[in-house]
Amino acid sequence: MNQYINSTERKKAQGILLLRGLGLGLSLACCIYILTQHGSSLKLLLKLNPASFGYILIAVLCWVGVNTCLGLGWAKAIELQNPSLRANIKASIFLNFRTQIGKYLPGNVFHFAGRFYYAKKMGLAHKSSTFSTLFEAGSLSLLALVLSTPLISSQLNYLLIPISLLSIAILYLFYFTLFYFFNKRPPPLTNWATWLQSIAYYLALLILQTCLFLVLQTEFAPELNWSLDKTISIIAFSWIAGFLAFGAPGGLGVREAVMLHYADSTSSSAIFLCVAIMRIASLIADVICYLISQCIRLDSLKIAKN
């Protein structure tokens, strides 16, 4: 029996290692492809005028907002799993600030591992951490998938209201199923408001990423003629592609390749500049968030209380 368990665990570990290797390989392949096709545009980064740094600063602040929304959504997810708990918003935000830098390690999962580590030190049960993380990942993926639908077919634009209503139903069904799995009972009806708040924070996260891109587009790619709904769809689709590329550090290369795929030949250099600066701005913001979190001892905070 022990041999069977050990064999299963070994195969599981090998499978995870293989997935990480494939994700890292995909990330490297995308980076090589981008540099091969657009490497000559890198020199544009060296020719930025001083006024451009104001736009980059706004982009950095937008990404700090993205990380803040993650913290707010995670706090609400804790309350969804256990309605008797009241999450410490400040602690949840600082925890996410501390751990987001981990996604740049090969694997694209170490920011989640960091959450579990610090959440335990802050008094949160493993069950609540697991639920909150799965709820975040599932809800964000479903939201991004819904926002990406205009890329699948322009005909779906005429079905916006039915798709929106169906999306809300699917999102709640996902929460219902997850809650039932963890608690062996249906979620209380009083959780509706908390659930809507958490979804609103995750939606705001994707909207902030769109705002970040639009800010950079205004300065670096004014000739781009993407409509607002197409921009939102591309940002959402690139996010989910990077997120699901298990093993790719922070979705590096994958997100950028998706966005460049939708650029036409006349605007590809400008789009390359936008996505390159977008990645730089997000990295700077994640480092800033990490440094901010170092100003406080996380284990001195309780992330939730009755």
What's the whole-number mean pLDDT along residues 279-291? Answer: 91
What's the whole-number mean pLDDT along residues 155-178? Answer: 79
Residue 40 has pLDDT above 60, yes or no: no
Taking the alpha carbons at both ends of the chain, their separation in whole angstroms is: 42
CA distance 111 to 104: 8
Residue 134 has pLDDT above 70, yes or no: yes
Residue 95 has pLDDT above 80, yes or no: yes
DSSP string, 93-116: HHHHHHHGGGGGSTBS-HHHHHHH
Instruction: Provide the β-strand partners of residue 107.
Output: 247
Residue 4 has pLDDT above 50, yes or no: no
Q: Of 274 and 31, which is predicted with more confidence?
A: 274
The three-class DSSP label of residue 84 is coil
Instruction: Provide the β-strand partners of residue 247.
Output: 107
Question: Mind listing the pLDDT tens digit for each residue in 191-203?
Answer: 889 999 999 999 9
**What number of residues does the chain have?**
306
CA distance 65 to 296: 19
CA distance 37 to 41: 9
Question: Mind listing the pLDDT tens digit for each residue in 180-225?
Answer: 999 999 998 888 899 999 999 999 999 999 999 999 888 887 777 7
CB 163 within 8 A of CB 109: no
Provide the whole-model pTM: 0.84
Residue 17 has pLDDT above 80, yes or no: no
**Residues 156-177 as b or e (16 or more Cβ within 10 Å = b):** eeeeeeeeeeebeeebeebbee
Residue type at 138 in one-letter notation: G
Residue 39 has pLDDT above 70, yes or no: no
